[in-house]
A and B are shown apart, each in its own frame.
Chain A
Amino acid sequence: MTLHGWYPVFLREMLLFRRKLLKMGYLVSAMLVPLIYLAVFGYGLGKNVRLNGGDYLTFLIPGLVAMSSMTNSYTWVASALNLNRLYFKTFQLLIQAPISAGAIMLGEVLAGMVKGLFAASLLIVMGLCAPGHFQLTLPMLLALLLNCFMFASLGVVTGMLAKSHEDTSTYNNFFILPMSFFSGTFFPLDGLPALLKGVIYLLPLTHTNILIRKATLDNSAIISLLVMVVYTLIFWFVGSRLIRRYSE
């Protein structure tokens, strides 16, 4: 499968993203939810909480980075693709262009990554400025990049499957929102009942949260990395197939 032709797909999204960036509303909306979580759980509820000998903020910020990069990568791709396909009909231009399904997928996913990384970078800057011991590590960067790629790929799947724009919110409510709370973003998973823990370990964001908090690539980090790679490949394969088989 040739990926030649991904660049104009990516460029189009970036031109639209640049226009959105110039509007203050976008910046505020990208920042608002993680800022609220940071204020409520970090500076409010978590002020006197200590985890594994460290302060709660140091635990929370990497989780918020994972969550924020997930929601932004996923939501922007799912929502834009769905709207472009069903309402604006601009997706049809990509299908009618002499480029492969893989090229369309790659362009959309890379654009989703940029949006996820942008939102995460705002949080990283805040984390570096906040009191505590938050620091950038190699596993964190790896987790962040893979997380964005993985959830942008899932965004393509949702964007292609959803039969209306309301449907994307339904997928969001059933899958993305619960995962944000139960995948180790706000609390460690060690103390959970075994059955619940088993379910939670099946969720891709859980492995991002494990990897993103690691200082080095130890065995458990590598296992989480491999799980993320497997999820990424599955989402990529399904997304590409949906694009390739697209017919109105």
Chain B
Amino acid sequence: MIAVNNIRKSYGKVQALDGVSFTIDKGEVFGLLGPNGAGKSTLIRMLTCLTRPDDGSASIAGHDVVGGAAAIKSLVGVVPQENNLDRELSVEENLRIYGKLHRVVNQPRKIDEVLREVELTERRDSVVNGLSVGMKRRLIIARALLTDPAVLFLDEPSIGLDPQIRRQLWEIVRRTRKAGRTVLLTTHYIEEADALCHRIGVLRKGKLIALDTAAALKEMVGPYVVDQLSEDGRLLQHTARSREEAHALARSLENGCTVRRTNLEDVFVKLTGERIE
């Protein structure tokens, strides 16, 4: 459904994307994990026809992001990182304008549907400025779903939200996944990528340094981790290929150690040498 081939983009001396390639199948939820400045948003802007690549190519459903932009715009829904709602218009007016821009047929019914989906029906006449942060995020998702997009792009959908609202958003994404849409999700919340994505790509400094399922990535770095507290109070982490190996390692280390299953954050630290902030 989505094919990215050796794509590059730089802003002055900063190489935002440096030869990134991957494909996403139809109906797949694909996560891009990486710290701030890794190139995640640039990639989404490129795939949604907002930014032109310097080199390489990308296509959605066979349409090139440069040459076939018109066709792509009818296929995708975008949830950007920032709030780009019209703050002085009402919830319904925001949806109505978006629906007209995308020539949504049977618009009143579709607006009712998406408002129900994100539980904002009772706020349809509220001006956006008066909504909470979580409601605004849900409205942006509703807007993206209004066109019944074949591909949904979610750029840091839950950034700045409290855990309860974040989980509400996850439920919406899960329902979207069940509806058979292809989803590309960027996040720097490890837990989010683990909970929602079929496959995860790890992006660092514009390069895709790993790509697989969460389970395979954990297996790749070692399925067990031994946490060791050093004498100067630093947390040292060692990966192990098996439970037995991990316990043997824990016994051999001098300070108190704990053994646990590897999580995606461990994968990230192992692959990049840094923690995700």
Contact = CB atoms under 8 A, between A and B. Distances in A.
Contacts of A24: none
Contacts of B124: none
B98 interface: yes
Nearest to A98: B73
Contact of B97 (A12, A96, A98): A12
A47 interface: no
Interface stretch (A49-57, A87-95, A219-227): A87-95
Nearest to A90: B84
Given A11-B100, A247-B51, A98 B74 contact: yes
Contacts of B87: 88
A16 B88 contact: yes
B interface majority secondary structure: loop
**A15, A96, A98, A248: most-surrounded residue (chain B CB, <10 A):** A96
A93 B101 CA distance: 9
B45 interface: yes
B50 A96 contact: yes
Nearest to A248: B51
A5 B104 CA distance: 12
Contacts of A95: 49-50
B45 A8 contact: no
Contact of B93 (A7, A9, A15, A96): A15
Nearest to A99: B101
A16 B86 contact: yes
B55 interface: no
B106 to A, nearest CB: 16
A96 B73 contact: yes
Interface string B95-108: 00110111100000
A11 B80 contact: no
B261 interface: no
A99 B103 CA distance: 10
A9 B97 CA distance: 8
Given A5-B101, A97-B101, A92 B88 contact: no
Interface in A5-40: 5, 7-9, 11-12, 15-16, 19
Contacts of B45: 248
A140 to B, nearest CB: 34
B70 interface: yes
B100 A7 contact: yes
A11 B97 contact: yes
B103 A98 contact: yes
Interface in B85-129: 85-89, 93, 97-98, 100-103
B49 A96 contact: yes
Interface string A127-151: 0000000000000000000000000
A12 B49 contact: no
A98 B68 CA distance: 11
Nearest to A9: B101
Contacts of B102: 97-98
Given A89-B82, A96-B73, A248 B50 contact: yes
Interface in A42-83: none
A26 B224 CA distance: 64
Interface string B56-83: 0000000000000010011010101010
B48 interface: yes
B101 A247 contact: no
Interface in A224-248: 247-248
Nearest to A5: B101
Contacts of A12: 86, 89, 97
B108 to A, nearest CB: 15
A110 B73 CA distance: 24
> What 7 A-B pairs come out closest when comparing CB atoms?
A8-B100, A97-B101, A89-B84, A98-B73, A247-B52, A8-B101, A12-B97
Interface of A: 5, 7-9, 11-12, 15-16, 19, 88-90, 92-99, 247-248
29 contacts: A5-B101, A7-B100, A8-B97, A8-B100, A8-B101, A9-B101, A11-B97, A11-B100, A12-B86, A12-B89, A15-B86, A15-B93, A16-B88, A16-B89, A88-B86, A89-B80, A90-B84, A93-B84, A93-B101, A94-B101, A95-B49, A95-B50, A96-B78, A98-B70, A98-B73, A98-B74, A98-B101, A247-B50, A247-B51
